[in-house]
Amino acid sequence: MADNKKLLWLKLRTIIFGHPLATQNAEESKVGVSGGIPVFGSDIISSEGYAPDEILYVLLLAGSLGYAYVLKISFAIVLLVISIFLVYRKAIQKYPEGGGSYTIAKAYLGANYGLIAGASLTLDYVLTVAVSVSSAIENLTGIFPWLAPTPHKVLADCLVILFMAWVNLRGLKESAKLFSFPVYLYIATLALLIGTGLIEILVHGVTPVSVAAGHTAVSSASGMTWFILARAFAGGTTALTGFEAVSNGVTAFKSPPQKRAIRTLLILGIVVSVGLIGLTYLAGSYHIVPHEGNTVLNQLGVIIFGRTIPYFVLMGTAAAILVIASSTPYAGLPILLSLMARDGYTPRYFKNLGDRLVYSAGIWTLFLISSLLILVFHGDTHMMLPLYAIGVFISFTLTGTGLAKHTWQERGEKWKSDFVIFSFGGVVSFLVLLIFITTKFTQGAWIILVIMPLLVLMFRGIRSIYSGEIQNLEVTPEAAEAFHMHVAKLRRRRANLELADFRNKVIVPVYDLNLIILDTLKYAYALTPQVTAVHVASDPIRTAKLLKHWAEYRIEIPLEIVESPYRATVQDLLKYIDKVEKKGNYDTITVAIGEYVPEKLWHNILHNQTGQLMKLMLLFRKSILVTSIPYHPVPKEEHPVAVKLDTKP
């Protein structure tokens, strides 16, 4: 009966999330350039659709004169796109493990700036999901009026966010397959719109369909101020949100990952640049006036296509890509959190790959936080929009500045041109950031300025806790010597006994060699010499370190390595116990689980509680005994100087 239930659960799980993928098949789960564009580029592709609106909203404050400047603003933004592309191309070349702004800032500006970059990107990714989904649902209220009430809209937002989480939990390749068609169809239809519009203007000329209604017409350049131009430029740079995602996710690309990532970034830069210039040129030529509920893209579609099939395809894919834009954070944030976890700044479980070779913990975290944001702001896009884009320009600034500093210090071949490019990207991004903060401060931008320092403090606090735990758990020469003496003493006491006389077997799960494991092994060996330490090898690097430490400290207890190609640690340990139970002739089998008891209860959220899950699963095994060996940390002032085995959290 139990086997039938287990089989049913496995079938259901496979249907929902797909077949587990083996670690050795990781390359097959990665994406190429064609898959990387919808996965990592959907955010930036969707952003270019509403960037012309943001430019015109500001320029038309100067009346119809604003149309004369719209194309100039677009060219200035494209110049920034080129600079940022060159910045992130260098970032990808230097850091193939990914991380983008976080990695660059930490390496060249210091750990604190790296944490600022990590915090800013985290906020930007969360806001991207919330803003994109809420905007898409708001656009659908005209077609489905029953979505308009706030409770219905919030529920729809959360369900869409859950759907996006589910798709991404199935793997990057699944996401790429599902999202490729609407993304490429949108790009093709947008290209058709711009191409048709340009041909119409060249062949038949253009008659403006409207003037800047509601704005005072200005006949001289005195009506246009530098502040208006700066605000328009800053508004248009929303087309760049999502640009950093490719540099964060280099490891998600097939081999050679750096070349594919750079090629993807180049294509996205071209798509955004051409699309932005084309849309703003057409909008300026036709004197389009953006209104809430009637965007520049919609008005151009009606003018150029009429209410024909291409128009409906354009608007349908535009709405779809707003939802798909939330896929970029689901691909980027989990990778960022995994890199920060390797440095000890986020909980360790963020670096664990799930069944489908994606960082499942990061995906679930993004789902929960973005859903919470939707609930707090009642799914109102306009309330969340002022918070948007600030984080990404902080990361642009830190990346450009970090690479500029590094280039200045190294002064290698062609360093002057690189220094100019990196400095330009960093300085302009900083100026845009200042404009955003100044103009959006009272609208909610202050919230970001409050949350970011709190996030940085949280990251540093997590690192401090882990560092303290490592210091408490590191094997000292004294502890190793005490262990050897304990084993030797018991062996002398049992010298006249045969190993077969002991009918009880003890299995000790081992993740790493530390004081918890030494205490657990001492306890187990005191019960019986029939003790085996078992390591489930879900991470080859961790396994190699464990074997090295085991040999270095000459641990007498045999260590068995259980391969775990699908990283199912608990399940693979249970299978090993089943084999021991069938092959061995023991009266009892005991699983001795060492458990770290943190100084404060809330510190438990920083651990994945694998031991608790093991105990729960073994609770239903009648013939298996489970023993917990709690380890209480020694106060720091009483802790002896340790010999470090592994300084990385």
Q: Model confidence over 412-450: pLDDT tens digits?
A: 888 888 899 899 999 999 998 898 888 877 777 788 888
Top mean-pLDDT range of 5-14, 87-96, 430-439, 454-463:
454-463
Q: Which has the minimum average pLDDT: 177-191, 298-312, 380-394, 577-591?
A: 380-394
306 has a pLDDT exceeding 50: yes
Q: What is the pLDDT of residue 644?
A: 40
SS3 628: strand
DSSP characters for 143-156? T-GGG-SHHHHHHH
Which is more confident, 455 or 614? 455
What is d(CA 356, CA 176) in angstroms, rounded to the nearest whole number? 14
Q: What is the pLDDT of residue 6?
A: 54
pLDDT (tens digit per residue) in 324-377: 988 889 988 999 999 999 999 999 999 888 877 789 999 999 999 999 999 998
pTM, rounded to two decimals: 0.86
Instruction: Give the pLDDT score at 144.
Output: 76
Confidence of residue 636 (pLDDT cuts 50, 70, 90): low
Q: How many CA within 13 A on the CB side of residue 403?
A: 36
pLDDT score at 212: 41
Least confident of 252-256, 304-308, 438-442, 455-459: 438-442
State percent of the chain over pLDDT 90: 44
What is the C-alpha separation between 171 and 357, in angstroms, rounded?
7
Q: Report d(CA 396, CA 380) in Å as an integer.
A: 27
According to the per-residue pLDDT averaged within each range, which of 67-81, 497-511, 567-581 is highest?
67-81
Q: What's the average model confidence in pLDDT over 86-98?
A: 86
**Does position 221 have pLDDT exceeding 80, yes or no?**
no
Decide if pLDDT at 9 tops 70.
no
CA–CA separation, 251 and 267 (whole Å): 18
- pLDDT for residue 220: 42
Which pLDDT score is estimated for 380? 80
CA dist 638 and 649 (Å) reads: 22
Q: What is the mean pLDDT of residues 551-559?
A: 93
Q: What share of the chain is helix, strand, coil (3-state, %, to 5)?
A: 70, 5, 25
Q: What contacts 320, CB < 8 A, 6 or more positions away?
A: 136, 182, 186
Summarize pLDDT for 502-525 with one digit per residue, the tens. 889 999 999 999 999 999 999 999
The pLDDT assigned to 109 comes to 94
Q: What average pLDDT does the segment 124-139 reach?
A: 86
Cα gap 114→585, rounded to integer Å: 56
> Rounded to whole angstroms, how far apart are CA atoms 68 and 46?
25
**Closest by Cα among 49, 57, 47, 48 to 290:** 57
More confident residue, 192 or 90: 192
Topology given in CATH for the domain delimited by 474-638: Rossmann fold (3.40.50)
Looking at residue 334, what is its pLDDT?
Answer: 92
Please report, for the chain, how many H helices and E strands are present, in that order. Answer: 23, 5
Tell me what pLDDT residue 649 has.
37
Of residues 602 and 139, more confidence is placed in 602
540 in Cβ contact with 25 (< 8 Å): no
Where in the chain are the domains? 25-466, 474-638
Average pLDDT of every residue of the chain: 86
247 has a pLDDT exceeding 50: yes
d(CA 230, CA 72): 12
Once rounded to an integer, what is the mean pLDDT over residues 157-178? Answer: 90
Whether residue 646 has pLDDT greater than 50: no
Start-to-end CA distance of the chain, whole Å, equals 42
CA distance 464 to 468: 6
Domain 25-466 falls in which CATH fold? Amino acid/polyamine transporter I (1.20.1740)
Whole-angstrom Cα distance, residue 172 to residue 31?
Answer: 7
| pLDDT higher at 272 or 619 | 272
613 or 429, greater pLDDT: 429
Is the model more confident about 571 or about 509? 509
How confident is residue 11, by pLDDT bands cut at 50, 70 and 90?
low
- Neighbour count for residue 446 (Cβ, 10 Å): 14
What's the rounded mean pLDDT across residues 605-613?
82
* Residue 383 pLDDT > 80: no
Average pLDDT, integer, range 583-606: 87
Q: Amino acid identity of 532? A: T
pLDDT over threshold 50, residue 643:
no
How far is it, in rounded angstroms, from Cα 241 to Cα 343? 26
48 pLDDT tier (thresholds 50, 70, 90): confident
State how far the Cα of 571 lies from the Cα of 24, in Å rounded to an integer.
19
How much is the pLDDT for 10? Answer: 57
What confidence score (pLDDT) does residue 95 get?
Answer: 83
Asked if 515 and 474 touch (Cβ cutoff 8 Å), the reply is yes
pLDDT at 648: 40
Backbone Cα Rg of the chain: 29
Q: For residue 538, is pLDDT > 70?
A: yes
Of residues 420 and 499, more confidence is placed in 420
Alpha helices in 170-295 (DSSP H): 172-204, 226-236, 245-248, 257-285
